[in-house]
Amino acid sequence: MGVQDGATGPAAGLLRMAMEQAFNAVMITDAQPGPQGPRIVYANPALCQMTGYSEAELIGQTPRILQGPLTSPEVIQTLRECLQTQRFFRGSTVNYRKDGSPYVVEWNISPVKDEQGVVTHYVSVQQDISAVTGAWATSELLAKALDAAQDAVMIANAQGEIEFVNQGFEQITGFSRVEALGQSPTILKSGEHTEAFYARLWQAIQSGQTFRAVFINRHKQGHLIHCEETVSPIRGPDGTITHFVSLIRDQTARARTEQTLREQATRDALTDLLNRRAGEWALERAFLSAREGHKRFCVILTDIDHFKRINDTWGHPVGDQVLQRVATVLRAGVRATDSVVRWGGEEFLLVLPYCEAAAAQLQAERLRARLAEVDHAEVGRVTVSMGVAELRPHETLASLIERVDQALYSAKHAGRNQISLG
């Protein structure tokens, strides 16, 4: 089958000339499954030059003729799955020339459908990227050395597409080679850094400088990983930046140790509840646990009604006693898995993992009623207003806190000593 089959006129001639003169290698196969997969029906001169095979030697063969010991089974499996589901494929692996020498190929495959929508062929556009990936692709020793390294190595091209990762990258991030290749390094983005942070990174490496920092990345499973990372630009023969190499060292264990030390001093001195910083850690842990396990998660924000009046009328020592009394009731009225936080001033945040909105509302109502029953010796009856909110699918933690804050505002605006659901 020639590339002009099924087409006539000047357009067909132009198409053939374009294919014959194309810089990139082009292969067309049929869509017959067969025991060995589709068969090659067209190969342009660039493909023949890249592989060392003549067109006659390729026609009728399967693309497996180009595979060998270092060809990635994972990449080939992903390719097959894409073809079976009629999806576009893009990937990179090691192929072999006719003389047995390996080369690194980057290629994409698109299905071709007839007028009835039936896939009849696949067109593959390929490029030999050995000159870019050079040493690690052709030197078995260097490849083994990189894979033996516990630190992660990631190489991305100037367009921000990942072209190489080692086993250390897979172990630290949870992403396999197949999942990472062709993706952007933003697959690790956690949302913990500001846009200004990434702007500084980009400005440094674009100007040819090395950028070093501790990155808070996100593991494939969703949890945070603290990484000491160095990003350096790689220049081509003409001085143009062609790639960026990242060396990544996992510092999560050290970060957790530091976190433990911080938590030893994270109690509020007055109420013995978690202080704001510890509360934020508890919030994040509950949030990530809920998201990873697809579990329910609620928060209750509590505010003492007319607290400023209490301080102004009876003084701050009495106000402190009221805060302690409210803290005691809240702490005694929650589960062992819940967290009670002195969120700020007269505000308290209750973190309720594995809890849905209806249960959280009942919990809030019980606490509100219990607090309203207690008479302070000097102040008398002290009431609280409460906002309740449950984490929604795909919602951020910041959005959840904003909603519960608005719910609390609604409860106070409606007359206080009541509960509002956000």
Catalytic (active-site) positions: 346
- Please, is 24 exposed, middle or buried when counting C-beta atoms within 10 Å of its C-beta (0-12, 13-18, 19+)? middle
Phi/psi class of residue 351: alpha, beta or left (left: φ > 0; alpha: ψ in -120 to 50)? Answer: beta
CB distance 321 to 376 below 8 Å: yes
Q: Which of 186, 192, 151 is nearest to 172 (CA)?
A: 151
Phi, psi of 118, rounded to the nearest 5 degrees: -90, 135
**How many H helices and E strands in the chain?**
15, 17
Nearest residue to 96 (alpha-carbon basis) of 73, 116, 123, 67:
67
Q: CB 309: neighbour CB atoms within 10 A?
A: 11
What order of strands is seen across the sheet that includes strand 119-128?
Answer: 40-43, 25-30, 119-128, 102-113, 89-96
Signed CA dihedral, 252, 255, 260, 263: sign only: negative
CB atoms within 10 A of CB 269: 7
* 3-state class (DSSP) for residue 201: helix
Q: Hey, what are 168's tokens?
A: 């250390």
Helix (H), strand (E) at residue 27:
strand 25-30
- DSSP letters along 95-117, please? EE-TTS-EEEEEEEEEEEE-TTS
Query: How many other C-beta atoms can be found within 10 angstroms of the C-beta atom of residue 393?
Result: 6
DSSP 3-state of 77: helix
